[in-house]
Amino acid sequence: MSEILQAALAAKSLTIAEWCHVRRVGRTRAFEEIQSGRLRTYKVGRRRYISAEADTQWQRDREAESAMEVA
């Protein structure tokens, strides 16, 4: 497990940059996911965070979508 992921899980949240790095997703794609409502975030001041729960839910939803495409 990467150091960034370990630190993020310990903190229970990720910044957009950390999430993009961990999930290997571009920043534009991350904001598309947020805009579409598929990825939940919260803000503290001007900074946006993704909770570990929201990340896990996002991953489960993507896995379910992939399973539906294969079936």
For the chain, the C-alpha Rg in angstroms (whole number) is 12
Per-residue pLDDT tens, the chain, 71 aa: give them. 567 666 666 678 999 999 999 999 999 999 999 999 999 999 999 999 999 899 999 999 999 998 887 76
Q: Bridge-partner residues for 13, per DSSP?
A: 51
What is the DSSP annotation of 2-70? -HHHHHHHHHTEEEHHHHHHHHT--HHHHHHHHHHTSS--EEETTEEEEEHHHHHHHHHHHHHHHHHHH
Task: Quote the pTM value.
Answer: 0.80
CATH number of 3-70: 1.10.1660
Distances (CA, A) of 49 to 11, 17, 44, 69: 11, 9, 8, 30
